[in-house]
Structure 1
């Protein structure tokens, strides 16, 4: 297989997927349950894709210099262990996630590498050189460049979106247990007065998106918007309050309600919200503009833009998800656990 950019990217894509299957098989059999071993959500492991390219480069050098067995062992040991160490540092340092933990193994370093698995990687590298790579070349060499390009570009795009989503989630999420407690406490201090109000509790009886109630939707929007607002040093109190009130209407928009619901319900929600609590100009703008650009007039405040974007994200995710919404979703489960206080009687507001 010629070493050109197309074949390099294609090989990276293929071995990222094959590596994912290898890791899933090993970890799932060991734990006797399915485990996704990667940092990202998709069926690919960047470590294996990168490792395959490094090994292919090493093999080319071995063939050119006619390297002996001892030299190969040393190079394979160094490169594979180095890649594992770098990947471990990236996962833990940037995303606060341990992709693996060798702390209980002898001859380990900070849980990222250990002698036992370094030996395994050397054996796998030899298997790659003499078994996997020849088979890969015989199977994939005849494939047309057009297919390779289409496959590679599609997978790289998916990986990039997946990585961007993971990075953004890591950006807004609390990084330590202490910060998590502080964040949750701040949110509930702002949200509790409204969450205990019967006008908002009544939303739990209304279906909103694919089995998700309207109350669950507004809580999710409020919480995710709050996380963004906190990172960006915005008015989090206004974000939480307006986020909870942005869909405060009591008709089933899926089967009834006013025509042009998307255009009209922000004003209906604002009218109902004014009956529940006193609103600041910023909170009113957030509620009224949460459907922008359908509302035409753009948001005045950054807080309004954040809630609008998060609302769009949550709604889109609800409908493109392969699975219907589950009540055990992380955001809603977290909020349900945080809420306290006795239940009050609810009534329908119209």
Structure 2
């Protein structure tokens, strides 16, 4: 049981360190603080899983740093690819896209990120993990279950909130899509009606163009009202994943994202 709590604590710490790495890596080029990660809290569970895989499967190769680096690339790239695939199937959405990078596989993984993950594996195996191990084994065993339990409670609550966020965001995007379709249909009907009046000389071309322009302005205002509604959870998710979009609804996600700029 002690091993379970120790590994759980490794998962907690590496999830938090992974989140910190992601925040630094993404915030510097964008020149603002980005709360990265699938969840809202300061942790990225995929890094926790990745670290446990590295610890348990690569530790036997400790005497061979080059092998640790190469195997680290393979293990972490495979984890990232599987994570991307599962998130896409679960939420019918793309979360990140490396298709613009050289040597990518289906846009899910790329050589640059995989190389960086390989370097992180070296840092973990030869630097961070020995240091953390000493610290963890100094924690009284009676406290370990409380720490793990506390984190698990927070994690479960965060997962529920995140699932709600994604579901509500998808509903919102669908409603924007439906509104857009409805407004276009109304515009089409209006244009036909005005064209008919113009043909009967009951309306001049200038009057027809003016009414169409007024209605288009009305349509744009209605769409802007829908898009302008603020939701901090939606905004956080869109800001954290610049390439995130629901499949076949890219246009409407872009409208929401444009509002954040």
Higher helix proportion (structure 1 or 2):
2
- 1:141 paired with 2:137, answer yes
Shift of 1:164: 1.9
Which residue is equivalent to 1:290? none
1:61 and 2:60 correspond: yes
Alignment CA distance shift 1:330-1:138 (3 Å): closer
Q: Normalising by structure 2, report the TM-score.
A: 0.63
1:26 aligns with 2:60: no
Q: 1:10 matched to which residue of 2? A: 9
Query: Is 1:156 paired with 2:152?
Result: yes
Check the 8 A contact 1:100/1:112 in 2, yes or no.
yes
Partner residue of 1:82?
Answer: 78
Equivalenced residues, count? 191
TM-score, normalization by structure 1: 0.48
Q: In the alignment, which of 167, 188, 213 is matched to residue 163 of structure 2?
A: 167
Query: Aligned to 2:27, what secondary structure does the other structure show?
Result: helix
Which position in structure 1 is the counterpart of 2:194?
A: none
What SS does structure 1 have at the residue aligned with 2:107? Answer: coil
Once the two structures are TM-superposed, the CA of residue 26 in structure 1 deviates from its matched residue by 1.4
Higher relative contact order (CA 8 A, sep 6+): 2
Tell me, in whole angstroms, the C-alpha distance in 2 between the residues paired with 1:146 and 1:10: 13
Change in 2 beyond 3 A, CA 1:43/1:96: farther
Once the two structures are superposed, the pairs formed by residues 272-287 of structure 1 within 5 Å of their partners are: none
The alignment yields a C-alpha RMSD, in angstroms, of 3.3
Deviations, residues 18-50 of structure 1 (Å, cap 9, x unaligned)? 111111111111210011111111111011111
Contiguous gaps of at least 5 residues in structure 1:
187-222, 224-326, 334-350
Residue of structure 2 in register with 1:114 after alignment: 110
- Structure 2 CA distance for aligned equivalents of residues 184 and 159 of structure 1: 37
Deviation by residue 1:113-150 (Cα, 9 ceiling, x = unmatched): 00111111111101111011111112222011222221
CA distance in 2, matches of 1:179, 1:106: 37
Secondary structure at the aligned position of 2:142 is classed as helix
Q: Deviations over 1:41-97 (max 9, x none)?
A: 11110111111111110233335xxx6455434421211100111122233332355
